[in-house]
Amino acid sequence: MSKDKIVDTFSECFKMWFSRILITAIDEETVLEAAQSTVGFATSIIMCSAEAGIERIVSAKETPDNRPGVIIQIWTKRSKLMKDELLARISQSAMTAPTTSVFNYLEEGEKNEPIGKLISYFGNGHQKKISKYGRDMWEIPVMDGSFLIDESFNFAKGIAGGLIILIGESTVEALAAARLAVKKIQNSSAKAITSFPGGICRSGSKIGSKYSFLNESTNHQFCPTLVDKIEDSLLPKKAHCVYEIVINAASEQDLKLAMKHAIIAVKDNEKIIQITSSNYNGELGSIKINLKDL
């Protein structure tokens, strides 16, 4: 591995609550539309009520109802917030999309909520509890047939905040590398998501601000336009574009695997000058993942 371009630093990670959900539908186009809507506006808990993303697409052979599926993850700071997120996102996005069914896809959880039962009240008395695919489910009449949903959903604590920063010579090259890294994460066996648009973040933040009403602000040390204006820039010569890939995963092992796949995808790209991360003296989290150990 080209370790010379990998900076000897670490990601500062932390625990959050997550749920893992499978959405299925009549075809891949429909289920992707449903999944994308369900995980919408959930890039970062800095300003969003949750973090969410698509883990991977699964074939009909892998799903309980033998239809194309998408696995998504939804993350919250506290477990009690998860109930509201699932109720809103599933009822207003996953259920409204044509032909969908929704399954709990986290086999073991630290907590459990009857999300399907609560959503079933939309059936206004016409809903019914059924046993199907070896699962306890609710069948809710809707205008294209029936919406099926597992009765309950599990939550557990996962690891959030895995951070890889790619420093490139140009926007085109850095963006292509970041996209490849995200694709490799999604194609891996890691139970992980990258919650920013396309899995990529251009507006990396640091803890703190000169303004009292803000807790976070632009990570100035990685801004190319500030290299000649600040004394503490971390950018090497020829650096003109920086992108972050922020990863949440079901376990530390999953997070390390996802980060490793991302690094391997770009390590030999000559247009990527450095692969690094960012940390804040333990203010963000107590779990350290060193890039060179991956």
For residue 136, the surrounding DSSP H or E stretch is strand 135-142
Q: What is the mean predicted confidence (pLDDT) over 181-191?
A: 98
DSSP-assigned states of every residue in 13-70: EEEEEEEEEEEE-SSHHHHHHHHHHHT-S-S-TTTSS-EEEEEEEE-GGGSTTSS-EE
The domains of the chain, with CATH numbers, are: 3-12+158-293 (3.30.70.520), 16-156 (3.30.70.520)
Q: What is the pTM of this model?
A: 0.95
Parallel, antiparallel, or unpaired: how do β-strands 145-150 and 101-104 relate?
parallel
CB 16 within 8 A of CB 157: yes
Alpha-carbon distance of 248 to 54, in angstroms, equals: 11
Alpha-carbon distance of 153 to 289, in angstroms, equals: 30
Q: Which pLDDT belongs to residue 196?
A: 98
87 pLDDT more than 70: yes
- pLDDT top residue among 27 and 286: 27
Q: Within 10 A of 96 (CB to CB), how many other CB atoms are there?
A: 14
Q: Which pLDDT belongs to residue 92?
A: 99
Q: What is the mean predicted confidence (pLDDT) over 45-53?
A: 98
Q: What is the mean predicted confidence (pLDDT) over 275-279?
A: 94
Supply 250's token pair. Answer: 């079901």
Alpha-carbon distance of 136 to 134, in angstroms, equals: 7
Q: Which pLDDT belongs to residue 3?
A: 57
Supply 234's token pair. Answer: 């971390």
Q: What is the mean predicted confidence (pLDDT) over 72-87?
A: 98
1 pLDDT more than 60: no
Query: Helix count (H) and strand count (E) of the chain?
Result: 5, 15
201 pLDDT more than 80: yes
Q: What is the mean predicted confidence (pLDDT) over 57-84?
A: 98
Q: Which pLDDT belongs to residue 4?
A: 84
- pLDDT top residue among 230 and 281: 230
Alpha-carbon distance of 141 to 129, in angstroms, equals: 12
Chain position carrying tokens 């500030």: 226
